[in-house]
Structure formats: C-alpha cells, structure tokens
Structure 1
Amino acid sequence: MQKFDPIFPAEAADPHVTLIRPTAPIATPTHGGRAKCLQRLVRLDLPVPCTVALSFRTVHGIAHGRMPDLQGILRHFDANALLCVRPSSEDPDWGGPGSILNIGMNDARYVDLSATLGTDAATSLYLRFIKSYAIHVARLDPDLFDSIADDGRQALSEALMTYEEEAEEPFPQSPERQLGEVLRSMARAWEGTTARLLREAKGAPVDAGLGLVVQEMALGLGMGECGSGVLQLVNSDTGALQITGRYLSQSQGRDALQRGAASLFLECDPRGPSLEELAPEAFAQLKADAALMRRKLRAEMQIEFTIENGHLHILDGVRVRRSSRASVRIAVGLALDGIIPPQEALLRVEPRALSELLHRQIAEDAPRDLIGKGIAASPGAATGRIVFSAAEAQSSAARGEACVLVRRETSPEDIRGMHAASACLTERGGITSHAAVIGRGIGLPCVVGA
C-alpha cells in the first residue's frame, strides 16, 4: 500500500524525483501518463503500492551519466522490499523499454524468501531477475540464458555462473547498484537512435521524454492465494460491456496473458475455473475498483493487478486498446452513462474510425476457412468468384456476377478491372503499392503481399 514517509515532507519534495501521493507535483508533460495515472489512483484511495516517479529531465540526465540520489529513492521503501521499474512516456503508443521486476533480489534476500515463501517460489523470483537483468540491463547474449530451464536450484546456480563468466564479475548484490543500472539501461534505451526513429514514426516529437516509475512489488507468489492478472470492463474488438482478462496463480506481471499459460477466467465461466470462484472477495473488490476508475478517470481502463495472500494490489492502469468499432461504442457508452458529455464523445472518435466502419465487414462469429494471409491495404469485406485479369473482371461484372481480381501485382492497365471487381488480392506489394493506393482511393477492399 501507499506509504507516506515523514522524512520527505511535501513542501521539501524534489519535483523531479517524488513519491507519488495526492498532492505531489506530477503532470503528464513532465512525468508521463503512467505516473499521472498512478497519482489519480492514489487520490481514489485504491490499493496502489508505494511508488516513486522520476521526471523526463531526471531520466534524460541518467542517460548522460547524472544519477539521482539512489539512497534517497530507496529510503521511501521498506528495506526488504523488491522493486520494479516501469516506463512512463507522454503517450503509451510511443512505446518504451520493458519493465524490470524483482530489483533488490540477491543471495541474502533469497535465503529470507526461501524461509517465508518456500524454496521454489524464491528460486523462481531470483532466476527471473537474473535472466531479465542479464539480457536487458547487462546486455548479455539472450541465448545463453533462454536455454536455462526453469527447473529449480540447479538452474539458479547455472544462471549465476553464466552471468559471472559472461560479465566477468559476480552478479551484483547491492540493491542500490541494481536499481542504478536498471535506470541507466532504460534511459539509454529510450534515447537510442532506433527507439527514437520508431516513436517518431508513431507521431512522437523529436524531443519526446521518458519518465520512470519505481514501484514496490506485490510479489504474486506465496503460501496463500497469490497471483497476477489483467482486467478490463469492455471487449477491445466490439466495445461491448464485458469483463475480459485473465488471472494466473503464482505469477507476476502479465504472465497470465502468455500463450500456453494455465490462466483462469475472471468471472465464473462454464469453460473452466475462475478467479471469482477462487478468491470471491478479491474479485468483488477488483470489479468495484474497475468501475470506480471508469467513472472517475472517464475512460475504459485496463487494470494490471496482483493478489498477495488474498489481498488485492493495483499496479497499473492504462486506456484499453480498441478497434475502430470498439472506439465508437465505448465513446457512446460513456456518454449514455453520463460520464462524458455527448460533445466530448464525438471528439473521441477519430474520422479514420468512422471511415473504416462504413465499409462492409465480416461478422465476428461467422464460420471461415483461412487459406492465406496478407497486408490489409484497404478496409472492407467482399465475396465473389476469382478472376485473374482485368478483362475477366469486366466480363463478370457485365454478367452481374461478383468477382475478386487476383493478380501477382497490379499495374495501371488493371484499374478498369479493379473498378469492376468486388475486391482485389495481390501476391506482391506493400501498404504503398499500386493496388493498395488505388484500392483506398476507390474504396475497394484490398489485400496485398498474400
């Protein structure tokens, strides 16, 4: 839970490295969207673990060798707490480095956790941190660590030995050093040339900053009911009100969403066990908190949560990713429930989303046989006989028969056939190929690069 440290009164707080509390000087343009959202959750008195926010300016300084007071940051947390560091950019669509979990795990902490959580859980925590630190912080060869099976203390010894051989030093035991190296790695990753070009392609300004949040971990591992998951109140594809997400016992982060994980449903479901059956009180609190976030934050949110010995902790909240169809339905739903005014609902729907919705679509539950994949160059759905030339397409249209023009790639001579066809499919080409550009121009469904 959020801890208020009397050593750092609000009036003396550093606005660039600050404990997230209701009155802390945190804003999206200076600390990023994740930090601001966490502050809003703290103001709602939700069970958010203790978190410290680092501003864009601080992270930029870290990338250039100017470290903040690491001991001061660590003093906000319990001495035995494990920490995680998450990115906080101004717009989540701009991306950022991945989160690093279990900072502070070392040989001494491993012995303590083995006594309280059990050897298996402690080994899993330590091994996960060593692999993550080696690959994403020390930048060692991932293949060396990915090949180490998660099979207990032997794997842990192998991981420590591999790290020492590759890094030419023992695995760092100081939480202060671990935190400093994680912060430096994430800051430099954000300011790298490749990362900058990728986010600029998504519309980010050249000088876009990154904030970081350092958060005390709720472990999700232990003797009682422990685990992690994600929840949202709407379907991302349709926008319909529907509790979606997954929960995985004895897990951390977003493990529940990994392919092949033995995850549980959230609500009672005839297809299998659910969190509602396993921990009804925690599930009821989670639903109530999600509804409160929807009402107070005026948006559909996806919640990342952890249950530790039956107690709920909310780690993060982000706006639900949505299809064009869902974005319209979500905006309308928020307006009908009186959460946002109708005028704001209109402004929340991008013109591009409306354009996509005006095209024909295949029903979500329609049976289908998939025979190939390609690039969705122009939206829409169509059906018809396959034809292989513009002349055949025109003949088919003259007979009143729908057809799909299939070509290796189109040329200006094929435009008459594209006008006559219901859709176009090409073996070659990309999003800016001839077929793609013409298809979008005349409103013709088109798949290229099949």
Structure 2
Amino acid sequence: MLRLDGTATATRADIGGKAFGINGMRALGLPVPPAFVLTHPDSTQLRDGIRLLERETGRGFGDPTRPLLVSVRSGAAESMPGMMDTVLNLGVTDSTRPGLITLGGNAFATDIAERFRTQFEQITGSPPPPDPWTQLDLAAAAVFRSWMSPRARAYRAHRGLGEHGGTTVTVQAMVFGNLGPGSGSGVLFSRNPITGEPDPLGEWLPRGQGEEVVSGRSTPRPLADLARELPAVHRELLDAAALLERAHQDVQDIEFTVQSGRLWLLQTRSAKRSDAAMVPLAIGLVESGVLSIPVALERIRPAHVTALTGSRIIGRAGAELLATGTPAAPGIGSGRVVPDADQAEELAAAGHRVVLARPTTDPADVHGMIAATAVVTGLGGSSSHAAVVSRELGRPCVVGCGPDVLAGLAGLLVTVDGHTGEVLAGELPVLPVDPRLGSHLGTLADWLARHPAPELAPVVRAALARVQSAPARSR
C-alpha cells in the first residue's frame, strides 16, 4: 500500500497512471481528495489505507454520523480509458444513511445508495453486503480481475499492448458533485484533442457525478456554463490545467468535481487525441514553451502527418441531413447503420462497411467500435466513453444526436462527418486533402530543416505537395 500524498517516488510503471497522476497533483499543491494505491490484492493493506483516509478527512468508514465513502478504480501503466472497472460511493450501508442525510438531505442519501447498489451489482455480480469492509474487499478484487476482461483484452490487442503488467487499484475519498447547488462534475482537456486547437475543451454536468459524464449516459453542458455559474472555480480549473500541462509536458485530460463551490481534481492523464490533432498540438506546445522542437518532432509519426491532410466530403449541399450532434472524433466514415456491437463485428467480418449507432457506448461495445467505420451516439459529449475511445481507435464519431434519433437511422446507408458533427444520407464521395492545413505542414518543414528527422521529411514533402495541388474547399 502506498499513500498518494505527493511524496511517493514510485514511477508510472510501478503504481499505474491514475495513482501516478494523483500523487503528482498533490506534489504540485493542487486540491485532490486523499488516496492510496495497492499493487496487488491485500485485505490488510486495504484496511491500513482506509485508516489513512479516515485521519486525513476526519470521517469514518462505516461511521453513522460522518461516513467516509470511497471510489475504487483501476490504473494500468498505459491508459485504457473505460476498459476496466470502477466502483464509486463504496461504504454505503443502512447505518451510514443518517450521516449522508445530514450531509445532503434525504434525496441525496437515496441517490447515493442507489448509484452504489446498481454499480456494485454490475461489477461484482451480487448485491452489496451490509459490511463496508467486505464491500471493499469484493470491489478491489473485481477491479483487479477486470484487467483480463474480454473488452480490456480486445482493446490491448487492437492497440498492440502486451498482456503483462496488470492493473493497480486506487482507493480515493469521495467528493460529491451531486450534493446540491454549487456542485457538479466535469472533464477538461487543456487543449482541444479533436482538432488540435489551443483553447481548452471541457464539459460540465451540474449536480452530477463524474461517471455520468465519462460514460456518456448524460449529455453535459459546455465549460462556458461553469464559467458563468462558478467563475472563480472556472479560473482555478484553467490555472490548474496550465500547471499540469507544463508539469507533464503534454496535453492533459483532467476529471474534476465541484462540491458546494469547492474544486477537487480527481485525475489527470495525457489526453487521448486524434491523429489529425497531433501536429497542431505539437506546434502549439512548442509555441507555448512547453516543448522543445526536437521533443515535439520525436512525438510526431508519419501517420499523424497523413491524418493531417485527411479527407473531406464533397457534394454535401445535395445530401439529406439525417442527424446532427457534437463532433467528437474527426474523419469521414460511411456504411450501413447497425444498433448492436456484436452485429457490427459480424457484418464487418463478412466484408460489409457498418456504422455503429448506440444510445451510449460502454466498454462492452469496444469490439463493435473497432469493427465500425464510424460511431454515432444519442447521448453524451466530447469527453464521453464513445468520444474518447473513438479518438484512440481513429474512428470518426458524432455524439449527442438526441435519444430519439437513432431508431430512424437503423439500416440506412449513411456518411458520418466527425469534423462537423453531421450524419448524412448515402455514401458520399470524399476529397482526400484539406488545403487549409498547409501552414502546419510549412511549420513542420521549417523544423525539419533545422532538426532533421529522416522518417518524417519525405512524408511532409509529399503532404505539402498534395495540399498545394488540392482544389479550394467546397461544400
């Protein structure tokens, strides 16, 4: 058991990305709920860790008046967003209800208990036992086991990640975005991971817990709403994002909760980004003084340059617009709409091009997302499971089209534009180059003249030639 108080010297490989990020944030003096990490199942160490959290929070695990609730989360060295299990609000029992009512009222206590019961049953396959310590043992064991779940193994196979390493388990004191006014949860990217633009991108769900945001079950509001409702919290969040970006020398994906007007940071990690965003992000980090040019060039692969000159739809003006949503992962994908991940995998294996359309996606849908040419959801925002995983997989994605839209799409041949957030009827032709991107390629060419990178130079030259010969943008 390792206490994550900012003094731990363990590496990401030792304790996993989640714990490493928490420890680093506390070392920077940022507001983070207390936490500890286990590298292997051990009931005794779980109890020792909970005692640390009790001392730091002034709350008691199972205490009827000031109950301590915790989250139990996975954390591999390589980020695998949404692929392994998480249990929130653990520690709820009949005896802790009075303390939860004191904290937030009867409706809050009921909401917390129901969230916990539902999630615990989903993860462990059984109702929560009345003893909080047994809850903790069972949840930690389930999270450790989730490393070998079919969805996690499929994701690792697709990404070329090995089966070795496993996951750690991070246990963290809960803070509550669903407590009431002045509370909520959200996700902030320190720069736009979809387009590569330098402005932060984020979402905010008032009176909600973070799982609702990242799962896509709720459609959050833009970060501008947080700036309007809680301007001091918004400023503190942006300042923290800038600090973390410099500390990690990379674009950060930050999960946060606001409880009664107080900001808490729960997680930071390097943001999953589209291939098309990689070059503009690298240029922006250099221009901001976060990265040197040689380091930026080391991060750019030929595939990133190729993606930068990606396709665009032509003949859009005559196409029927079937749905609109939030553009969540760039690119163009065409195929027959199917509502089920298993069906998507079966049809793709038979040689058919399919678009997966789901109300939301979860880790059980990853095999269908891999098989599809594009992903569309009825709910969720740009930080939902569908959005984050689609960017990682390189699948065009449009989210939040509306819960009643998808039924009308099933079986249709469509084209999904992940740049604009549109779903159009038919299989539309595409032009493979967007000529607006010449400035980024010109910057790369200037860098390469001073810092040679033999594997990139010919790709950049070829991309510049394609851009310079491309016709003007049309609709």
Normalising by structure 1, report the TM-score.
0.66
- 1:295 corresponds to which of 246, 249, 255: 246
| 1:43 alignment partner in structure 2 | 27
Deviation string for 1:110-138 (max 9, x for gaps)? 2221133111111000000001111111x
**Is this contact kept in 1: 2:313–2:431, CA < 8 A?**
no
- The structural deviation recorded for 1:344 is 0.7
| 1:32 alignment partner in structure 2 | 16
Deviation string for 1:189-243 (max 9, x for gaps)? 2135664454234222232221111111111133441111111232222110223
Alignment of 1:70 with 2:46, yes or no, is yes
**Is this contact kept in 2: 1:84–1:100, CA < 8 A?**
yes
Q: Which structure has the larger Rg?
A: 1
**Is this contact kept in 2: 1:74–1:176, CA < 8 A?**
no
Alignment of 1:200 with 2:157, yes or no, is yes
- The structural deviation recorded for 1:325 is 1.7
Alignment of 1:338 with 2:289, yes or no, is yes
| 1:173 alignment partner in structure 2 | 130
CA distance in 1 between counterparts of 2:216 and 2:283 reads 33
**Is this contact kept in 1: 2:204–2:221, CA < 8 A?**
yes
Q: 1:362–1:40: structure 2 CA closer, same or farther, 3 Å change rule?
A: farther
CA distance in 2 between counterparts of 1:354 and 1:203 reads 21
Alignment of 1:285 with 2:236, yes or no, is yes
- Percent sequence identity is 27
- 2:202 corresponds to which of 236, 241, 245: 245
SS at match of 2:164: coil
Segments of structure 2 that go 5 or more residues without pairing to the other structure are 55-59, 61-66, 323-333, 336-352, 354-371, 375-393, 395-426, 433-465, 467-475
Alignment of 1:219 with 2:176, yes or no, is yes
One-letter amino acid of the structure 2 residue matched with residue 283 of structure 1: H
Q: 1:310–1:193: structure 2 CA closer, same or farther, 3 Å change rule?
A: closer
**Is this contact kept in 2: 1:89–1:95, CA < 8 A?**
no
SS at match of 1:26: coil
Q: 1:133–1:95: structure 2 CA closer, same or farther, 3 Å change rule?
A: closer
| 1:190 alignment partner in structure 2 | 147
- The structural deviation recorded for 1:32 is 1.1
The CA RMSD over aligned residues, in Å, is 2.8
Q: How does 1:322-333 map to 2 (within 5 A)?
A: 322-333=273-284
SS at match of 2:279: helix
**Is this contact kept in 1: 2:180–2:207, CA < 8 A?**
no
**Is this contact kept in 2: 1:33–1:92, CA < 8 A?**
yes
CA distance in 1 between counterparts of 2:249 and 2:319 reads 37
CA distance in 2 between counterparts of 1:339 and 1:27 reads 22
CA distance in 2 between counterparts of 1:22 and 1:81 reads 21
Alignment of 1:229 with 2:180, yes or no, is no
CA distance in 1 between counterparts of 2:251 and 2:23 reads 17
CA distance in 1 between counterparts of 2:48 and 2:257 reads 27
CA distance in 1 between counterparts of 2:228 and 2:235 reads 11
**Is this contact kept in 2: 1:87–1:213, CA < 8 A?**
yes
Alignment of 1:87 with 2:74, yes or no, is yes
**Is this contact kept in 1: 2:85–2:146, CA < 8 A?**
no
One-letter amino acid of the structure 1 residue matched with residue 46 of structure 2: L
- The structural deviation recorded for 1:251 is 1.1
CA distance in 2 between counterparts of 1:193 and 1:259 reads 21
One-letter amino acid of the structure 2 residue matched with residue 77 of structure 1: L
Q: 1:121–1:329: structure 2 CA closer, same or farther, 3 Å change rule?
A: same
Q: 1:259–1:94: structure 2 CA closer, same or farther, 3 Å change rule?
A: closer
